[in-house]
Amino acid sequence: MSMNRRNFLGAVAASAGMGQIPEGFAQQHASKAKTLDLHVHLFGIGDTPSGCRMSPRITDGIAFQQLVFALGLRKRADTIDEAYERVLADAVATSGFTKVAILGQDAAYDRQGNPDWERTSFYIPNNYVLDVVSRHPEVMIACPSINPARGDAIAELDRVKKKGARLFKIHPPIQGVDLMEPRFKPFFRRCADLRMIVMVHTGHEHSAPVISKDFAAPTQLVLALDQGCTVVACHAGSGWETDEPDQLPQFIDLQRRYPQQLWGDTAVLGTAGRVRDFGRLLKADHVRDRLLHGSDYPFPVVPEAFIPQIDEATAKQVSSEANWIKRDLALKQALGIGNASAERAYTLVFGT
């Protein structure tokens, strides 16, 4: 944890004074095709009527405070909720992407399907996601979050579909949900019927309190896949070299079993702790072309960690990009996957 925190704080602190990426580099790696960043976070602490919640375990931490500083949230508005939306909207509008998917975060639920606020570390309600996206429809699409353990899970799925959502996210290790429970079969069958893309966090989580790391195993996706769902394994089962167990091989094996239904995204893979696992994914030929672009904004990449794979000059050029969403794509493009995975993401979601 301490190693990752130092890397993260160094990245966000350095970001505050960065200039723009050199024009020649940007043009060299530009793409004219339609692109989608599949994994951009909406945050809020509930200091407006947004309905957001965030545990003091997160907001009192140095990483959160440093992020608030690096993004300049205190200067943008009187509330964190409003300031983050403004910063997010600016980053998205100047990112160069055709669209970005804005993610919500559902609560943990008890066995009766009621919200369990004691176990919920942060909560970004679907209505807030839909409201924010409605204010920026030219560049944003909604990715609500639905914990299948909630009592009205299928009704909520139908509701957000009618509101225009094409995909939604589940975060099992934070939401405390075992996706292999047979009681979730009707929910996933409904997802398949509606052709709603199911995004699921897989791999080790380090940014928020975890209820069970076992719920992050890629094998947890089998029930949804067997019901016919199209599934995106967020982070592709990756982790740090020190994380146990090593979950990434599960994703690689599962992709062989479900070559048409299962995808992975590249969110968080540009950080220092995931260098090894990003390399393993790129070397797996049957997996590389099933990776979709995700930046995991507002968590910045660390290009210098990839100097063994890209030259030092390129790492410095990528680091000079002030827009964190663009910087993430530039790093992944330097690794040979950025634009292609962003175009694949757009095609999967929009079907064109």
For position 313, what pLDDT does the model report?
A: 96
pTM over 0.85: yes
Does the pLDDT of residue 30 top 60, yes or no?
no
* Structural domains in the chain, sorted by start: 35-350 (3.20.20.140)
Tell me the HSE value of 292 on the side-chain side, using a 13 A CA sphere.
25
For position 17, what pLDDT does the model report?
A: 38
pLDDT tier, 20 (very low <50, low <70, confident <90, very high otherwise): very low
pLDDT tier, 218 (very low <50, low <70, confident <90, very high otherwise): very high
What percent of the chain shows pLDDT beyond 70? Answer: 91
CA distance 41 to 235: 14
For position 125, what pLDDT does the model report?
A: 98
Residue listed under structure tokens 């100097």: 307
Q: 3-state secondary structure string, the chain?
A: CHHHHHHHHHHHHHHCCCCCCCHHHHHHCCCCCCCEEEEEECCCCCCCCCCCEECHHHHCCHHHHHHHHHCCHHHHCCCHHHHHHHHHHHHHHCCCCCEEEEECECCCECCCCCECHHHCCEEECHHHHHHHHHHCCCCEEEECECCCCCCCHHHHHHHHHHCCCCEEEECHHHHCCCCCCHHHHHHHHHHHHHCCEEEEECCCCCCCCCCCHHHHCHHHHHHHHHCCCCEEEEHHHCCCCCCCCCCHHHHHHHHHHCCCCEEEECCCCCCHHHHHHHHHHHHCHHHHCCEECCCCECCCCCHHHHCCCCCHHHHHHHHCCCCHHHHHHHHHHHCCCHHHHHHHHHHHHHCC
Residues 6+ apart with CB under 8 A from 51: 123, 125, 127, 128
**Structure-token pair, residue 31:** 């793409």
pLDDT tier, 201 (very low <50, low <70, confident <90, very high otherwise): very high
Least confidently predicted of 164-168, 186-190, 207-211, 217-221? 207-211
pLDDT tier, 24 (very low <50, low <70, confident <90, very high otherwise): very low
pLDDT tier, 32 (very low <50, low <70, confident <90, very high otherwise): confident
Average pLDDT of the segment spanning 183-206: 97
For position 130, what pLDDT does the model report?
A: 98
Convert the pLDDT of each residue in 41-70 to its tens digit. 999 999 999 999 999 999 999 999 999 999
